[in-house]
Structure 1
Amino acid sequence: MVSTKEIVAANSAFATERTSGKVFVFTGATSGIGAATMEKLASMVDTATFYVAGRSAPRFSPLRAKLEALNQNIRIVFFECNVSLLADMDAFSALITASEKSVDYLCMSQGALPFTGAQYTTESLELCVSLSYLSRARLVSSLLPLLRNSPRPRILSILNGGKETTLNTADLGLAHPGSWTPFAAIAQTTMMTTLAFEHLARLPGNERVTFLHAFPGLVRTGIGANIVAPPGAGWWQRVRAAVLRGAVRVMMFLMGVDVERAGERGAYLVAGAGPGAGPGLAEGGAWLVDDKSEVAAGPVGVLERYRAEGWPEKIWEFTVGVFERVLGAA
């Protein structure tokens, strides 16, 4: 385990370098782990540009004020959008591409607990699959040209790295009746993230890009509040959602770590003091990172099977197919 003391020391060392002019991109960072990671990074750089995607500029205002108080030299560009929509991710990346020649760091942490049943976006994509995988994959693919222009590009997807189990190879989008369950959604997005990152890391031109799929562990965030019954739900669904919401809160309180500590670890990974840049580890490539901030191998035999069957490439072919179906030729 990389101790909190070691992480604080590494982040402090990064801060003493007085890094200037870097471009950071954040999704899912208006609250929870993403926000804590962004706050920590704000205190670790001299000057920087932070691009932040989120639903509401007014709701972001208190966090913006906090970031500006931490570092007056940060330029914050907030883009109001729905991060579950591929079209909105395209608009976000277009904003960045129009203003920047390179992106140095991309941190993605958007998501929702899928325990109240399958829900669908206006693009007819299952919400959990879109938030946890498809919208992230779209942003990565759109920003890769700018990331390649950075001397040390890093991508961090905070999700479930190292917890891979199975993949529904017959229904990758979990669109068929009976495919979707809460645990199937978690397993599917976890595996697709890992395999897609492995595929992208091997593509020509991406050799210097570091892809990190990290599991943060249980963190005391407000994500449990998002467990609500869908509109029009019956009384039993509302009761079930309330019970689950309470159970998550109790579990987080008893077993979770403080969000500030998770943010410290997130900044450690984004800034490059962690896996993919430590002793004996070359920069670039795809890495799984556990809640101890160490490189994880994943369950024995699970990933090897899907790699042998060519699923990293198949996953990306499916992903591009979704992009084309939802967004057209773009």
Structure 2
Amino acid sequence: MVAYSAVQASNAAIARWLPETVVAVFVGGTSGIGEYTLKELARAARKPRIYILGRSQSSFDRIAAECRQINPAGRYVFVQGDLSLLRNVDAVCKTVQGQEEAINIVFWSAGTLIRGQKTAEGLDLAAASRVYSRTRIISNLLPQLEAATGLRRVVSVSTGTSEGAIDFADFQLVRSSSSLAKQRAHNSSLISLTNMRFAQRAPTVAFVHDYPGHVRSGISRGATGVLGAALVVVRALGPLLFFKPEQESGQRHLYYLCSARFRAREGVEETVPLGEGVATARGVDGVEGSGVYSCDADNDEAPEKVEMVLARHREEGALERVWERIQDDTKAILGAAY
């Protein structure tokens, strides 16, 4: 693991090493891990411009007020929309693109554990957020990420280091028989494989997929049944037993955004240099500094078994199959707007 003290020391140097104005887009920043991380970015950066994409105006108003107290030199912008709908995703991305030619950071932490519900566009609600919306947002904003100087990062908070089998016959995992372990393995592989596809197109952008550990967040809102009951217990006992402190979660995710440990495969970056005893992370292909990372709650890269799983997926053509499936489903929804 990367010691928390090393993470704090690295983040404390952000104002010195990063550009004066860092442009960041947070998806899911109105609660939980996204909120914790954007507050730490506001605290560490000099004049950040932070866009928060989400539904709750009242949550944004609260967070923006707190961020202005933390860093009055920052600018905090809300772009409202239900991002489980791909048409809304395109609309909010166009709003951001209309204001920014270059983006340094895309931070995605949106998601839900609700099962058995469909969006108005016909996608499973959980899959719409975790797979389709996330992929569309990154696809839309990738030109602005490539145009940025200094820092170019995409961080997706989900189930990093749990990559496993992919169920192409139940791609959206709508069958009630899908176990939590199967869901984690499937979803984790989809995220890491799409990150690999993005990195092929944009090798100067670094992509991190991480598991945040047990952190208080809003992902369980609306969950029902046995899972919902279990989460009630977790929320009640978590702070006493095993929840990672909110500030530490924010700091560790800020570290993904700004440390040279998670560098892009190509290009020159303005990031915080590696601290003493800290090495460049190993990518999902087993190569140090290769630009695509799957990490755990302590900023460590995935073990070798995950690299082997993803290597097998690549050999069997799963990367192309996953990408084509997501694009085909997206095109079927968006039609001429695709």
Q: Above 0.5 in TM-score?
A: yes
Q: CA deviation at 1:318?
A: 1.0
Q: After superposition, what is the alpha-carbon deviation per residue over 1:127-171, rounded to whole angstroms, capped at 9, x for unaligned?
A: 111111211110000001111101231000011111112110223
CA distance change for structure 1 residues 296 and 251 in 2, over 3 Å: closer, same or farther? Answer: farther
Whole-angstrom distance in 2 between the partners of 1:149 and 1:110: 25
SS in structure 2 of the partner of residue 76 of structure 1:
strand
Q: CA deviation at 1:58?
A: 2.2
5+ residue gaps in structure 2? Answer: 265-273, 282-287
Bigger shift: residues 82-91 or 208-217: 82-91
SS in structure 2 of the partner of residue 107 of structure 1:
strand
CA contact (8 A) 2:42 2:74 kept: yes
Q: After the TM superposition, which parts of structure 1 deviate over 6 Å for at least 4 consecutive aligned residues?
A: none
Does 1:248 pair with 2:234? yes
The one-letter code of the counterpart of 2:64 is R
SS in structure 2 of the partner of residue 174 of structure 1:
coil
Whole-angstrom distance in 2 between the partners of 1:223 and 1:258: 17
Matches within 5 A, 1:266-305: 266-276=253-263, 278=274, 279-280=279-280, 285-297=291-303, 299-300=305-306, 301-305=308-312
CA contact (8 A) 1:118 1:180 kept: no
CA contact (8 A) 2:30 2:56 kept: no
Matches within 5 A, 1:59-138: 59-114=59-114, 117-138=115-136
CA distance change for structure 1 residues 251 and 185 in 2, over 3 Å: closer, same or farther? Answer: farther
CA contact (8 A) 2:84 2:128 kept: yes
Residue equivalent to 1:197: 195
Residue equivalent to 2:166: 167
CA contact (8 A) 2:7 2:251 kept: yes
CA contact (8 A) 1:155 1:210 kept: yes
CA contact (8 A) 2:108 2:134 kept: yes
The one-letter code of the counterpart of 1:291 is A
Q: After superposition, what is the alpha-carbon deviation per residue over 1:71-114, rounded to whole angstroms, capped at 9, x for unaligned?
A: 11111110111121211111111011111111110000001124
Residue equivalent to 2:284: none
SS in structure 2 of the partner of residue 288 of structure 1:
strand
The one-letter code of the counterpart of 2:231 is R
The one-letter code of the counterpart of 1:296 is A
SS in structure 1 of the partner of residue 6 of structure 2:
helix
5+ residue gaps in structure 1? Answer: 230-236
Does 1:320 pair with 2:318? no
Q: CA deviation at 1:269?
A: 0.7
The one-letter code of the counterpart of 1:28 is G
Residue equivalent to 1:158: 157
SS in structure 2 of the partner of residue 299 of structure 1:
helix
TM-score, normalised with respect to structure 2: 0.86
Matches within 5 A, 1:40-55: 40-55=40-55
Whole-angstrom distance in 1 between the partners of 2:292 and 2:227: 36
CA contact (8 A) 2:54 2:81 kept: yes
CA contact (8 A) 1:50 1:76 kept: yes
Q: CA deviation at 1:228?
A: 4.0
* Length, aligned pairs only: 315
Whole-angstrom distance in 2 between the partners of 1:276 and 1:132: 24
Residue equivalent to 1:258: 245
Bigger shift: residues 214-223 or 126-135: 214-223
CA contact (8 A) 1:162 1:298 kept: no
Residue equivalent to 1:234: none
Whole-angstrom distance in 2 between the partners of 1:167 and 1:40: 35
Does 1:213 pair with 2:209? yes
The one-letter code of the counterpart of 1:145 is P
The one-letter code of the counterpart of 1:111 is G
Q: CA deviation at 1:223?
A: 3.8
The one-letter code of the counterpart of 1:63 is I
TM-score, normalised with respect to structure 1: 0.88
CA distance change for structure 1 residues 219 and 269 in 2, over 3 Å: closer, same or farther? Answer: same
The one-letter code of the counterpart of 1:124 is G
Instruction: Give percent identity, aligned residues only.
Output: 30
